[in-house]
Structure 1
Amino acid sequence: MPVLVVTGTNTEVGKTVVTAAVAATALAGGRSVAVLKAAQTGVGPDEPGDAAEVARLAGAVTTDELARYPEPLAPATAARRGRAPVHPHEIAERAAKLATEHDLVLVEGAGGLLVRFDAAGGTLADAAGLLRAPVLVVASAGLGTLNATELTVRELRGRGLDPAGVVIGSWPERPGLADRCNLLDLPDVTGAPLLGAVPEGAGRLDPPAFRAAAPHWLAPRLEGVWDAEAFHTREAPARAR
Protein backbone atom coordinates (compact mmCIF):
# COMPACT_ATOMS: atom_id res chain seq x y z
CA MET A 1 0.00 0.00 0.00
CA PRO A 2 1.92 3.10 -1.17
CA VAL A 3 -0.57 5.42 0.58
CA LEU A 4 -2.34 4.64 3.84
CA VAL A 5 -4.83 7.11 5.30
CA VAL A 6 -5.05 7.17 9.10
CA THR A 7 -8.24 8.39 10.74
CA GLY A 8 -9.63 8.25 14.25
CA THR A 9 -13.06 7.64 15.66
CA ASN A 10 -12.63 10.89 17.57
CA THR A 11 -9.93 13.25 18.80
CA GLU A 12 -7.41 12.04 21.40
CA VAL A 13 -7.68 8.35 20.51
CA GLY A 14 -3.97 7.87 19.77
CA LYS A 15 -3.94 8.56 16.05
CA THR A 16 -0.54 10.26 15.98
CA VAL A 17 1.14 7.58 18.09
CA VAL A 18 -0.33 4.85 15.88
CA THR A 19 0.90 6.72 12.81
CA ALA A 20 4.35 6.85 14.40
CA ALA A 21 4.24 3.11 15.16
CA VAL A 22 3.31 2.29 11.55
CA ALA A 23 6.09 4.58 10.33
CA ALA A 24 8.68 3.10 12.70
CA THR A 25 7.74 -0.44 11.70
CA ALA A 26 8.02 0.37 7.99
CA LEU A 27 11.38 2.06 8.54
CA ALA A 28 12.62 -1.00 10.41
CA GLY A 29 11.68 -3.02 7.35
CA GLY A 30 13.88 -0.86 5.15
CA ARG A 31 11.11 1.25 3.59
CA SER A 32 11.21 4.98 3.02
CA VAL A 33 8.30 6.79 4.67
CA ALA A 34 6.59 10.17 4.36
CA VAL A 35 4.00 11.52 6.79
CA LEU A 36 1.49 14.09 5.58
CA LYS A 37 -0.60 15.93 8.16
CA ALA A 38 -3.62 17.19 6.26
CA ALA A 39 -4.42 20.00 8.69
CA GLN A 40 -2.85 20.76 12.06
CA THR A 41 -5.05 22.54 14.58
CA GLY A 42 -4.43 23.88 18.06
CA VAL A 43 -0.69 24.39 17.54
CA GLY A 44 1.15 27.68 17.12
CA PRO A 45 3.36 28.52 14.14
CA ASP A 46 6.63 27.73 15.91
CA GLU A 47 5.45 24.70 17.86
CA PRO A 48 6.02 21.08 16.77
CA GLY A 49 2.90 19.51 15.33
CA ASP A 50 1.76 15.93 14.89
CA ALA A 51 4.04 15.26 11.91
CA ALA A 52 7.04 16.39 13.94
CA GLU A 53 5.96 14.11 16.78
CA VAL A 54 5.81 11.17 14.38
CA ALA A 55 9.34 11.97 13.21
CA ARG A 56 10.57 12.29 16.80
CA LEU A 57 9.24 8.87 17.72
CA ALA A 58 9.70 6.97 14.46
CA GLY A 59 12.93 8.34 13.05
CA ALA A 60 13.95 9.43 9.56
CA VAL A 61 10.62 10.15 7.92
CA THR A 62 9.80 12.96 5.51
CA THR A 63 7.21 15.25 7.09
CA ASP A 64 4.75 17.55 5.39
CA GLU A 65 1.84 19.67 6.57
CA LEU A 66 -0.74 21.33 4.32
CA ALA A 67 -2.35 23.80 6.72
CA ARG A 68 -1.94 24.95 10.30
CA TYR A 69 -4.51 26.66 12.48
CA PRO A 70 -3.46 27.80 15.97
CA GLU A 71 -6.98 27.54 17.41
CA PRO A 72 -8.18 24.08 18.56
CA LEU A 73 -11.14 23.90 16.19
CA ALA A 74 -12.26 21.76 13.29
CA PRO A 75 -10.20 22.78 10.21
CA ALA A 76 -13.15 24.29 8.32
CA THR A 77 -14.20 26.26 11.40
CA ALA A 78 -10.64 27.47 11.97
CA ALA A 79 -10.29 28.47 8.30
CA ARG A 80 -13.42 30.62 8.51
CA ARG A 81 -11.62 32.72 11.12
CA GLY A 82 -9.33 34.27 8.56
CA ARG A 83 -7.09 31.54 7.13
CA ALA A 84 -7.08 29.61 3.89
CA PRO A 85 -8.78 26.20 3.97
CA VAL A 86 -7.27 22.97 2.73
CA HIS A 87 -9.27 20.98 0.17
CA PRO A 88 -9.44 17.20 -0.35
CA HIS A 89 -7.91 17.43 -3.83
CA GLU A 90 -4.90 19.24 -2.34
CA ILE A 91 -4.43 16.45 0.20
CA ALA A 92 -4.67 13.83 -2.54
CA GLU A 93 -2.29 15.67 -4.87
CA ARG A 94 0.35 16.15 -2.18
CA ALA A 95 0.10 12.51 -1.04
CA ALA A 96 0.35 11.27 -4.63
CA LYS A 97 3.48 13.36 -5.17
CA LEU A 98 5.07 12.03 -1.98
CA ALA A 99 4.21 8.49 -3.11
CA THR A 100 6.41 8.95 -6.18
CA GLU A 101 9.37 9.51 -3.87
CA HIS A 102 8.66 7.13 -0.95
CA ASP A 103 7.69 3.52 -0.40
CA LEU A 104 4.93 4.47 2.03
CA VAL A 105 2.97 7.67 2.59
CA LEU A 106 0.91 8.01 5.76
CA VAL A 107 -1.83 10.64 5.57
CA GLU A 108 -3.01 11.60 9.05
CA GLY A 109 -6.35 13.36 9.36
CA ALA A 110 -7.65 15.76 11.97
CA GLY A 111 -10.12 14.19 14.39
CA GLY A 112 -12.61 11.81 12.81
CA LEU A 113 -13.30 10.73 9.25
CA LEU A 114 -15.99 13.32 8.48
CA VAL A 115 -14.41 16.37 10.12
CA ARG A 116 -14.74 19.13 7.52
CA PHE A 117 -11.75 20.81 5.94
CA ASP A 118 -13.48 23.46 3.83
CA ALA A 119 -16.75 25.31 3.32
CA ALA A 120 -17.85 22.80 0.68
CA GLY A 121 -17.82 20.02 3.27
CA GLY A 122 -14.70 18.27 2.02
CA THR A 123 -13.39 15.57 4.37
CA LEU A 124 -10.58 13.09 4.80
CA ALA A 125 -12.92 10.48 3.35
CA ASP A 126 -13.09 12.52 0.15
CA ALA A 127 -9.29 12.66 -0.03
CA ALA A 128 -9.06 8.89 0.52
CA GLY A 129 -11.56 8.40 -2.30
CA LEU A 130 -9.48 10.51 -4.68
CA LEU A 131 -6.40 8.52 -3.71
CA ARG A 132 -8.21 5.16 -3.79
CA ALA A 133 -6.27 4.47 -0.61
CA PRO A 134 -7.08 2.11 2.26
CA VAL A 135 -8.01 3.73 5.56
CA LEU A 136 -6.73 2.59 8.95
CA VAL A 137 -9.15 3.36 11.78
CA VAL A 138 -7.70 4.21 15.20
CA ALA A 139 -10.20 3.55 17.98
CA SER A 140 -10.33 3.87 21.73
CA ALA A 141 -10.45 0.78 23.91
CA GLY A 142 -13.32 1.45 26.27
CA LEU A 143 -17.03 2.01 26.55
CA GLY A 144 -18.55 3.76 23.53
CA THR A 145 -15.97 2.62 21.02
CA LEU A 146 -18.20 0.03 19.35
CA ASN A 147 -20.71 2.54 18.06
CA ALA A 148 -18.13 5.10 16.93
CA THR A 149 -15.94 2.51 15.21
CA GLU A 150 -18.83 0.77 13.47
CA LEU A 151 -20.15 4.09 12.17
CA THR A 152 -16.72 5.02 10.82
CA VAL A 153 -16.27 1.68 9.04
CA ARG A 154 -19.81 1.79 7.65
CA GLU A 155 -19.14 5.23 6.21
CA LEU A 156 -15.96 3.98 4.57
CA ARG A 157 -17.71 1.02 2.98
CA GLY A 158 -20.64 3.18 1.92
CA ARG A 159 -18.20 5.29 -0.06
CA GLY A 160 -16.58 2.25 -1.63
CA LEU A 161 -13.42 2.71 0.43
CA ASP A 162 -11.32 -0.06 1.95
CA PRO A 163 -11.18 -0.13 5.77
CA ALA A 164 -7.73 -1.65 6.19
CA GLY A 165 -8.50 -2.53 9.80
CA VAL A 166 -8.72 -1.15 13.31
CA VAL A 167 -5.91 -0.38 15.76
CA ILE A 168 -6.61 0.41 19.40
CA GLY A 169 -4.71 3.61 20.00
CA SER A 170 -4.19 3.31 23.75
CA TRP A 171 -4.55 -0.08 25.38
CA PRO A 172 -4.81 0.40 29.17
CA GLU A 173 -2.22 -1.03 31.49
CA ARG A 174 -5.11 -2.33 33.60
CA PRO A 175 -7.96 -2.93 31.15
CA GLY A 176 -11.49 -3.09 32.48
CA LEU A 177 -14.20 -5.51 31.45
CA ALA A 178 -15.49 -3.21 28.67
CA ASP A 179 -11.98 -2.85 27.22
CA ARG A 180 -11.43 -6.60 27.20
CA CYS A 181 -14.85 -7.39 25.74
CA ASN A 182 -14.26 -4.86 22.97
CA LEU A 183 -11.31 -6.91 21.73
CA LEU A 184 -13.82 -9.55 20.68
CA ASP A 185 -16.64 -7.22 19.72
CA LEU A 186 -14.81 -4.69 17.54
CA PRO A 187 -14.11 -7.15 14.70
CA ASP A 188 -17.65 -8.52 15.04
CA VAL A 189 -19.46 -5.20 14.73
CA THR A 190 -17.19 -3.69 12.08
CA GLY A 191 -16.31 -6.69 9.95
CA ALA A 192 -12.77 -5.24 9.88
CA PRO A 193 -9.74 -6.98 11.40
CA LEU A 194 -8.12 -5.80 14.59
CA LEU A 195 -4.59 -4.96 13.47
CA GLY A 196 -2.96 -3.96 16.71
CA ALA A 197 -3.08 -2.40 20.13
CA VAL A 198 -0.65 0.32 21.15
CA PRO A 199 -0.04 0.41 24.91
CA GLU A 200 -1.15 3.37 26.94
CA GLY A 201 1.70 5.85 27.34
CA ALA A 202 3.65 4.58 24.33
CA GLY A 203 4.21 8.14 23.14
CA ARG A 204 6.16 8.88 26.31
CA LEU A 205 8.78 6.24 25.58
CA ASP A 206 12.26 7.27 24.54
CA PRO A 207 12.43 7.15 20.73
CA PRO A 208 14.83 4.16 20.58
CA ALA A 209 12.54 2.17 22.90
CA PHE A 210 9.49 3.20 20.87
CA ARG A 211 11.08 2.10 17.60
CA ALA A 212 12.16 -1.26 19.03
CA ALA A 213 8.70 -1.96 20.45
CA ALA A 214 6.51 -0.66 17.63
CA PRO A 215 6.50 -3.83 15.47
CA HIS A 216 5.20 -5.79 18.46
CA TRP A 217 2.08 -3.58 18.60
CA LEU A 218 1.04 -4.06 14.96
CA ALA A 219 -0.16 -7.06 12.96
CA PRO A 220 1.68 -8.48 9.93
CA ARG A 221 -0.60 -6.57 7.55
CA LEU A 222 1.07 -3.45 8.95
CA GLU A 223 4.47 -5.19 8.76
CA GLY A 224 4.56 -5.91 12.48
CA VAL A 225 4.62 -9.14 14.47
CA TRP A 226 1.64 -8.58 16.81
CA ASP A 227 -0.28 -11.82 17.26
CA ALA A 228 -3.99 -11.06 17.57
CA GLU A 229 -4.88 -14.55 18.76
CA ALA A 230 -2.26 -14.53 21.51
CA PHE A 231 -3.31 -11.03 22.58
CA HIS A 232 -6.97 -12.10 22.71
CA THR A 233 -6.08 -15.18 24.76
CA ARG A 234 -4.18 -13.08 27.27
CA GLU A 235 -6.48 -10.03 27.48
CA ALA A 236 -10.02 -10.86 26.34
CA PRO A 237 -12.53 -12.50 28.69
CA ALA A 238 -13.86 -15.93 27.87
CA ARG A 239 -17.25 -15.88 26.18
CA ALA A 240 -20.12 -17.03 28.35
CA ARG A 241 -21.53 -20.45 27.49
Structure 2
Amino acid sequence: MAILVVTGTGTEVGKTVTTAAVAAAAVAAGRSVAVLKPAQTGVLPGEPGDAAEAARLAGPVTARELARYPEPLAPATAARRAGAAPVGARATARAARHLALHHDLVLVEGAGGLLVRFDDAGDTLADAARLLDAPVLVVAPAGLGTLNSTALTAEALRVRGVEPLGVVVGSWPAEADLAARCNLGDLPEAAGAPLLGAVPAGVGGWQPAAFRSAAAQWLAPRLDGVWDAAAFTARWPAPSGLAPTAG
Protein backbone atom coordinates (compact mmCIF):
# COMPACT_ATOMS: atom_id res chain seq x y z
CA MET A 1 0.00 0.00 0.00
CA ALA A 2 2.03 2.93 -1.28
CA ILE A 3 -0.87 5.39 -1.46
CA LEU A 4 -3.83 5.59 0.92
CA VAL A 5 -6.68 8.05 0.43
CA VAL A 6 -8.32 9.33 3.62
CA THR A 7 -11.87 10.65 3.46
CA GLY A 8 -14.46 11.60 6.02
CA THR A 9 -18.17 11.00 6.06
CA GLY A 10 -18.45 14.79 6.45
CA THR A 11 -16.66 17.73 8.03
CA GLU A 12 -15.28 17.84 11.57
CA VAL A 13 -15.16 14.07 12.01
CA GLY A 14 -11.48 13.79 13.02
CA LYS A 15 -10.03 13.23 9.55
CA THR A 16 -6.83 15.24 10.01
CA VAL A 17 -6.06 13.77 13.44
CA THR A 18 -6.68 10.28 12.06
CA THR A 19 -4.38 11.03 9.14
CA ALA A 20 -1.75 12.17 11.64
CA ALA A 21 -2.20 8.97 13.66
CA VAL A 22 -1.79 6.78 10.58
CA ALA A 23 1.32 8.76 9.63
CA ALA A 24 2.77 8.50 13.14
CA ALA A 25 2.22 4.74 13.30
CA ALA A 26 3.84 4.29 9.89
CA VAL A 27 6.84 6.40 10.88
CA ALA A 28 7.21 4.38 14.10
CA ALA A 29 7.21 1.24 11.94
CA GLY A 30 10.17 2.62 10.00
CA ARG A 31 8.35 3.88 6.91
CA SER A 32 8.83 7.22 5.19
CA VAL A 33 5.56 9.13 4.89
CA ALA A 34 4.13 12.06 2.96
CA VAL A 35 0.80 13.76 3.60
CA LEU A 36 -0.82 15.37 0.57
CA LYS A 37 -3.69 17.86 0.89
CA PRO A 38 -4.91 18.60 -2.63
CA ALA A 39 -7.10 21.56 -1.69
CA GLN A 40 -6.85 23.33 1.65
CA THR A 41 -9.75 25.66 2.37
CA GLY A 42 -10.44 28.08 5.18
CA VAL A 43 -6.78 28.87 5.83
CA LEU A 44 -4.99 32.15 5.11
CA PRO A 45 -1.45 32.45 3.73
CA GLY A 46 1.10 31.75 6.43
CA GLU A 47 -1.29 29.75 8.60
CA PRO A 48 -0.71 26.00 9.07
CA GLY A 49 -3.04 23.80 7.09
CA ASP A 50 -4.15 20.23 7.66
CA ALA A 51 -1.06 18.65 6.10
CA ALA A 52 1.21 20.75 8.31
CA GLU A 53 -0.86 19.85 11.37
CA ALA A 54 -0.60 16.16 10.54
CA ALA A 55 3.16 16.52 10.20
CA ARG A 56 3.41 18.45 13.48
CA LEU A 57 1.71 15.62 15.33
CA ALA A 58 3.22 12.69 13.43
CA GLY A 59 6.90 13.62 13.29
CA PRO A 60 9.29 13.56 10.31
CA VAL A 61 6.63 13.61 7.59
CA THR A 62 6.63 15.43 4.25
CA ALA A 63 3.64 17.79 4.10
CA ARG A 64 2.41 19.13 0.79
CA GLU A 65 -0.53 21.23 -0.38
CA LEU A 66 -1.44 21.73 -4.01
CA ALA A 67 -3.63 24.80 -3.43
CA ARG A 68 -5.24 26.75 -0.63
CA TYR A 69 -8.23 29.03 -0.59
CA PRO A 70 -9.12 31.43 2.23
CA GLU A 71 -12.83 30.73 2.66
CA PRO A 72 -14.03 27.59 4.52
CA LEU A 73 -16.07 26.23 1.63
CA ALA A 74 -16.06 23.28 -0.74
CA PRO A 75 -12.87 23.45 -2.85
CA ALA A 76 -14.65 24.18 -6.12
CA THR A 77 -16.65 27.00 -4.55
CA ALA A 78 -13.69 28.37 -2.61
CA ALA A 79 -11.50 28.41 -5.73
CA ARG A 80 -14.17 30.10 -7.81
CA ARG A 81 -14.82 32.80 -5.20
CA ALA A 82 -11.08 33.42 -4.80
CA GLY A 83 -10.58 33.71 -8.56
CA ALA A 84 -8.00 30.95 -8.30
CA ALA A 85 -7.36 27.80 -10.30
CA PRO A 86 -8.96 24.66 -8.87
CA VAL A 87 -7.18 21.37 -8.29
CA GLY A 88 -8.75 18.39 -10.02
CA ALA A 89 -8.47 14.64 -9.64
CA ARG A 90 -5.76 14.25 -12.28
CA ALA A 91 -3.48 16.82 -10.65
CA THR A 92 -4.04 15.12 -7.32
CA ALA A 93 -3.17 11.72 -8.74
CA ARG A 94 -0.01 13.07 -10.41
CA ALA A 95 1.18 14.66 -7.19
CA ALA A 96 0.49 11.51 -5.16
CA ARG A 97 2.34 9.31 -7.64
CA HIS A 98 5.33 11.67 -7.59
CA LEU A 99 5.46 11.60 -3.79
CA ALA A 100 5.20 7.80 -3.86
CA LEU A 101 8.45 7.65 -5.79
CA HIS A 102 10.26 8.98 -2.73
CA HIS A 103 8.13 7.74 0.20
CA ASP A 104 6.92 4.37 1.43
CA LEU A 105 3.44 5.73 2.16
CA VAL A 106 1.52 8.71 0.78
CA LEU A 107 -1.63 9.77 2.62
CA VAL A 108 -4.00 11.83 0.47
CA GLU A 109 -6.40 13.70 2.75
CA GLY A 110 -9.58 15.05 1.20
CA ALA A 111 -11.61 18.10 2.17
CA GLY A 112 -14.93 17.35 3.84
CA GLY A 113 -16.73 14.30 2.51
CA LEU A 114 -15.97 11.99 -0.39
CA LEU A 115 -18.04 13.70 -3.09
CA VAL A 116 -17.21 17.32 -2.32
CA ARG A 117 -16.32 18.93 -5.65
CA PHE A 118 -12.72 19.83 -6.41
CA ASP A 119 -13.65 21.85 -9.49
CA ASP A 120 -16.59 22.92 -11.64
CA ALA A 121 -16.11 19.85 -13.86
CA GLY A 122 -17.25 17.74 -10.91
CA ASP A 123 -13.99 16.02 -9.94
CA THR A 124 -13.98 14.56 -6.44
CA LEU A 125 -11.66 12.71 -4.11
CA ALA A 126 -13.34 9.49 -5.24
CA ASP A 127 -12.19 10.19 -8.80
CA ALA A 128 -8.62 10.69 -7.58
CA ALA A 129 -8.77 7.38 -5.69
CA ARG A 130 -10.01 5.63 -8.82
CA LEU A 131 -7.23 7.12 -10.94
CA LEU A 132 -4.69 6.03 -8.35
CA ASP A 133 -6.28 2.61 -7.87
CA ALA A 134 -5.73 3.34 -4.18
CA PRO A 135 -7.65 2.06 -1.16
CA VAL A 136 -9.74 4.54 0.80
CA LEU A 137 -9.88 4.83 4.58
CA VAL A 138 -13.21 6.21 5.79
CA VAL A 139 -13.18 8.35 8.95
CA ALA A 140 -16.55 8.45 10.67
CA PRO A 141 -17.99 9.98 13.83
CA ALA A 142 -18.97 7.78 16.73
CA GLY A 143 -22.57 8.72 17.38
CA LEU A 144 -26.06 8.84 15.98
CA GLY A 145 -26.27 9.26 12.19
CA THR A 146 -22.91 7.74 11.40
CA LEU A 147 -24.29 4.49 9.99
CA ASN A 148 -26.15 6.22 7.19
CA SER A 149 -23.29 8.52 6.20
CA THR A 150 -20.80 5.65 6.35
CA ALA A 151 -23.00 3.40 4.21
CA LEU A 152 -23.49 6.18 1.65
CA THR A 153 -19.75 6.83 1.49
CA ALA A 154 -18.94 3.14 1.00
CA GLU A 155 -21.63 2.77 -1.65
CA ALA A 156 -20.33 5.83 -3.54
CA LEU A 157 -16.85 4.29 -3.54
CA ARG A 158 -18.00 0.92 -4.83
CA VAL A 159 -20.09 2.49 -7.60
CA ARG A 160 -16.82 4.01 -8.82
CA GLY A 161 -14.92 0.74 -8.57
CA VAL A 162 -13.06 1.66 -5.38
CA GLU A 163 -13.11 -0.56 -2.30
CA PRO A 164 -13.02 1.00 1.17
CA LEU A 165 -10.09 -0.31 3.18
CA GLY A 166 -11.97 0.12 6.42
CA VAL A 167 -13.43 2.58 8.90
CA VAL A 168 -11.81 4.51 11.74
CA VAL A 169 -13.86 6.32 14.35
CA GLY A 170 -12.23 9.72 14.25
CA SER A 171 -13.17 11.04 17.69
CA TRP A 172 -14.13 8.41 20.24
CA PRO A 173 -15.67 10.09 23.31
CA ALA A 174 -14.49 9.58 26.85
CA GLU A 175 -18.07 8.70 27.82
CA ALA A 176 -19.69 6.81 24.94
CA ASP A 177 -23.47 6.90 24.72
CA LEU A 178 -25.75 4.08 23.62
CA ALA A 179 -25.55 4.98 19.93
CA ALA A 180 -21.75 5.06 19.93
CA ARG A 181 -21.51 1.69 21.69
CA CYS A 182 -23.96 0.07 19.28
CA ASN A 183 -22.20 1.61 16.30
CA LEU A 184 -18.99 -0.26 17.08
CA GLY A 185 -20.73 -3.45 16.01
CA ASP A 186 -22.80 -1.90 13.23
CA LEU A 187 -20.19 0.22 11.41
CA PRO A 188 -18.44 -2.72 9.67
CA GLU A 189 -21.78 -3.89 8.30
CA ALA A 190 -22.70 -0.39 7.16
CA ALA A 191 -19.38 0.03 5.37
CA GLY A 192 -18.91 -3.54 4.24
CA ALA A 193 -15.38 -3.10 5.54
CA PRO A 194 -13.63 -3.70 8.86
CA LEU A 195 -13.35 -1.32 11.77
CA LEU A 196 -9.67 -0.35 11.82
CA GLY A 197 -9.40 1.97 14.77
CA ALA A 198 -10.85 4.49 17.20
CA VAL A 199 -8.97 7.72 17.84
CA PRO A 200 -9.81 9.25 21.23
CA ALA A 201 -11.43 12.67 21.23
CA GLY A 202 -9.10 15.52 22.07
CA VAL A 203 -5.77 13.89 21.19
CA GLY A 204 -5.13 16.53 18.53
CA GLY A 205 -4.37 18.85 21.43
CA TRP A 206 -1.72 16.57 22.91
CA GLN A 207 1.97 17.32 22.75
CA PRO A 208 3.46 15.69 19.63
CA ALA A 209 5.69 13.30 21.55
CA ALA A 210 2.74 11.91 23.51
CA PHE A 211 0.63 11.67 20.36
CA ARG A 212 3.33 9.73 18.49
CA SER A 213 3.93 7.29 21.31
CA ALA A 214 0.21 6.46 21.58
CA ALA A 215 -0.89 6.49 17.92
CA ALA A 216 -0.35 2.77 17.31
CA GLN A 217 -2.72 1.98 20.19
CA TRP A 218 -5.60 3.57 18.26
CA LEU A 219 -5.11 1.74 14.97
CA ALA A 220 -5.37 -1.86 13.79
CA PRO A 221 -2.37 -3.81 12.45
CA ARG A 222 -3.49 -3.05 8.88
CA LEU A 223 -2.53 0.54 9.72
CA ASP A 224 0.71 -0.32 11.55
CA GLY A 225 -1.01 -0.33 14.94
CA VAL A 226 -1.89 -2.79 17.69
CA TRP A 227 -5.56 -1.88 18.25
CA ASP A 228 -7.98 -4.81 18.35
CA ALA A 229 -11.60 -4.20 17.32
CA ALA A 230 -13.02 -7.14 19.29
CA ALA A 231 -11.22 -6.18 22.48
CA PHE A 232 -12.21 -2.52 22.13
CA THR A 233 -15.86 -3.40 21.51
CA ALA A 234 -15.82 -5.67 24.57
CA ARG A 235 -14.67 -2.72 26.68
CA TRP A 236 -17.63 -0.66 25.45
CA PRO A 237 -20.54 -3.12 25.47
CA ALA A 238 -24.00 -1.94 24.50
CA PRO A 239 -26.53 -2.66 27.25
CA SER A 240 -29.12 -5.26 26.48
CA GLY A 241 -32.42 -4.21 24.96
CA LEU A 242 -35.37 -3.03 27.00
CA ALA A 243 -37.16 -5.76 28.88
CA PRO A 244 -40.69 -6.44 27.72
CA THR A 245 -43.39 -4.83 29.80
CA ALA A 246 -46.04 -6.91 31.51
CA GLY A 247 -49.66 -6.84 30.43
- Counterpart of 2:46 in structure 1: which amino acid? D
Structure 2: runs of 5+ lacking an equivalent: none
Matched residue SS, 1:116: coil
Q: How large is the Cα RMSD of the aligned pairs?
A: 1.0
Structure 1: runs of 5+ lacking an equivalent: none
> How many residues align structurally?
241
**Is 2:34 the partner of 1:34?**
yes
In the TM superposition, what whole-angstrom CA distance separates every residue of 1:98-150 from its partner, at most 9, and x where no partner exists? 00100000000000000001010000000000000000000000000000000
In the TM superposition, what whole-angstrom CA distance separates every residue of 1:158-184 from its partner, at most 9, and x where no partner exists? 111020000000000001001101001
Moved over 4 A (4+): 238-241
Q: TM-score, normalised by structure 2?
A: 0.96
> 1:184·1:236 contact (CA, 8 Å) conserved in 2?
no
Q: d(CA) in 1 for partners of 2:192 and 2:74?
A: 29
Q: Which residue of 2 aligns with 1:224?
A: 225
Q: Which residue of 1 aligns with 2:113?
A: 112
> 2:44·2:70 contact (CA, 8 Å) conserved in 1?
yes
Deviation at 1:236, TM superposition (A): 2.8
- Counterpart of 1:157 in structure 2: which amino acid? R
Q: d(CA) in 1 for partners of 2:237 and 2:181?
A: 5
Deviation at 1:190, TM superposition (A): 1.9
- Counterpart of 1:190 in structure 2: which amino acid? A
Q: d(CA) in 1 for partners of 2:26 and 2:84?
A: 35
Mapping 1:1-241, distance limit 5 Å: 1-81=1-81, 82-237=83-238, 240=241
Q: d(CA) in 1 for partners of 2:223 and 2:118?
A: 28
Of all paired residues, the percent bearing the same amino acid is: 71
Deviation at 1:44, TM superposition (A): 0.2
Q: d(CA) in 1 for partners of 2:191 and 2:3?
A: 22
Q: d(CA) in 1 for partners of 2:102 and 2:113?
A: 28
- Counterpart of 1:148 in structure 2: which amino acid? S
